[in-house]
Amino acid sequence: MTGTLTHITGVACAILRREIEALQSAGLINLQFRYLSSMLHMAPARLDEQLQRLVAVERRKGHPVVLAYGDCCAHMLDLETDPGVARTSGINCCEIVLGRETYRRLRAEGAFFLMPEWALRWREVFEQELGLKGENARDFMTDMHTKMIYLDTGLMPAPLAVLAEVSDFAGLPCGILPVTLEPLLANLTAAGERIKHHA
């Protein structure tokens, strides 16, 4: 996606910011991205509103838009009806990063995924946003999942002490899965190519 798509604006969840910036630094993509807080996932209506407004602003400027998002709010599919808007493939950020096959295999095994940004903010996510605490948290997590997997994109040291805390909090073992940025790069590139095809 280098060289030919500089006019396209990327709009992404901040949970992917570190990874996208690494691809930019490596010269693998040269889109300019705008980011929205990952905590908006806890308020889908607000995410919906902010995404629609941001995409509308960029489209009025004549900029095509690549959305680095999963199925994160009610009107996400509506945004894609504009031929100048294309979205990454995947139901959430973890599938976008892992690729469909790996994500679905691990999900079928009962995995709960932790991206680096949310791992560092786990108390905010679980306790403040989801209202999970104590035995309530353990019961919920162990009913729904068999394990936790931290997706180690290699851009920061794995926060081992934090992961131990999350594991104890959720009552689940927490493993570390090294992942490359190739699926994310391929996903973003494919979205850009879809825009070029409709241009």
Average pLDDT over residues 8-31: 94
CB 198 within 8 A of CB 83: yes
Predicted confidence at residue 199, as pLDDT, reads 60
Predicted confidence at residue 4, as pLDDT, reads 44
Residue extents of the structural domains in the chain = 9-94+181-198, 99-178
Question: Is the pLDDT higher at 129 or at 70?
Answer: 70
Q: Express as a percent the part of the chain with pLDDT over 90.
A: 71
Strands of the sheet with 111-114, listed across from one edge: 111-114, 147-152, 174-178
Please provide the average confidence, as pLDDT, over all residues in the chain: 91
Predicted confidence at residue 197, as pLDDT, reads 75
User: 60, 91, 89: which is closest to 73 by C-alpha?
Assistant: 91
| SS3 readout for the chain | CCCCCCCCEEEEEHHHHHHHHHHHHCCCCCCEEEEECHHHHHCHHHHHHHHHHHHHHHHHCCCCEEEECCCCCCCHHHHCCCCCEEECCCCCHHHHHHCHHHHHHHHHCCEEEECHHHHHCHHHHHHHHCCCCHHHHHHHHHHHCCEEEEEECCCCCCCHHHHHHHHHHHCCCEEEEECCCHHHHHHHHHHHHHHHHHC
Sign of the dihedral through C-alpha 74, 80, 86, 91? positive
Of 2-16, 44-58, 131-145, least confident by mean pLDDT is: 2-16
Whether residue 6 is predicted with pLDDT greater than 60 in this model: the reply is: no
User: 62, 22, 68, 15: which is closest to 40 by C-alpha?
Assistant: 15
Residue keyed to tokens 């295999």: 105
What are the tokens at 168?
């104890």
pTM: 0.90
- The Cα–Cα gap between 51 and 71 comes to 12
With bands split at pLDDT 50, 70 and 90, how would you rate the model's confidence at 54?
very high
Predicted confidence at residue 135, as pLDDT, reads 86
- The Cα–Cα gap between 19 and 42 comes to 22
With bands split at pLDDT 50, 70 and 90, how would you rate the model's confidence at 1?
very low
Tell me: the pLDDT tens digits for 80-138?
A: 888 899 999 999 999 999 999 999 999 999 999 999 998 999 998 888 878 888 888 89
Of 151-155, 166-170, 194-198, least confident by mean pLDDT is: 194-198
Predicted confidence at residue 139, as pLDDT, reads 93
Average pLDDT over residues 37-51: 90
Whether residue 2 is predicted with pLDDT greater than 70 in this model: the reply is: no
Predicted confidence at residue 41, as pLDDT, reads 83
Tell me: the pLDDT tens digits for 175-188?
A: 999 999 999 999 99
